[in-house]
Amino acid sequence: MSIIYDALQKVQKNITEDAASPLQPKTTQGMPQAKPKTNPILFYIFVVCLGLALGNFAYNFFIHQPKKAVASAPVLPSVKQPVAAQNLNSDKSSNPETPLAEPSLVLNGVFFEQGEGYALINNKIVRLGDEIDGAKVKEIAIDGVTLDFNGKIIKLSSPSS
């Protein structure tokens, strides 16, 4: 029984020494205890996941900016061909009072998305305030489009009406 008693005395002595000096490293039979090793693989996995998340964020925010989906109307072949661009400076210098020729505009379709109207004029998508062949889009309605060309109002009716 003296072996058990001696072992209990050693344990009680270690406990009282640990309580007396909490800042000193704990010892087992005179040897300092080794700190538990952290697993570096978990750290590397965390760093890789963080890098992937930051890379995905940077790609989506800076490089790939998705465009809004626009429902498109079927493109109808235009019957009229647009007038070729003319040199406007030569016309103004020869006779400044001569009005510019009205552009040839063909309304191919009208569509709306999220409360905003779009028109397909000369196979180009325009919206309110855009300019096409010198004419500014003033109004887009389901039955047609109103444009302003140098103070002259041009009304294009929808091909379906």
Structural contact between residues 109 and 158, judged by C-beta atoms closer than 8 angstroms? yes
Task: Match domain 102-157 to its CATH number in 4.10.80.400, 1.20.1440.130, 3.40.50.2000, 2.30.30.830.
Answer: 2.30.30.830
Report in angstroms the alpha-carbon separations of 44 from 41, 125, 157: 5, 50, 64
The confidence score (pLDDT) of residue 43 equals 87
Higher-confidence residue: 100 or 150? Answer: 150
Higher-confidence residue: 114 or 62? Answer: 114
The three-state secondary structure class of 73 is coil
The confidence score (pLDDT) of residue 21 equals 60
The confidence score (pLDDT) of residue 84 equals 47
pTM: 0.38
Query: Which residues fall within 8 angstroms of residue 138, CB to CB, at 6 or more apart?
Result: 128, 146, 147, 148, 153
The confidence score (pLDDT) of residue 91 equals 47
User: What secondary structure, in 3-state letters, does 79-146 show?
Assistant: CCCCCCCCCHHHHHHHCCCCCCCCCCCCEEEEEEECCEEEEEECCEEEECCCEECCEEEEEEECCEEE
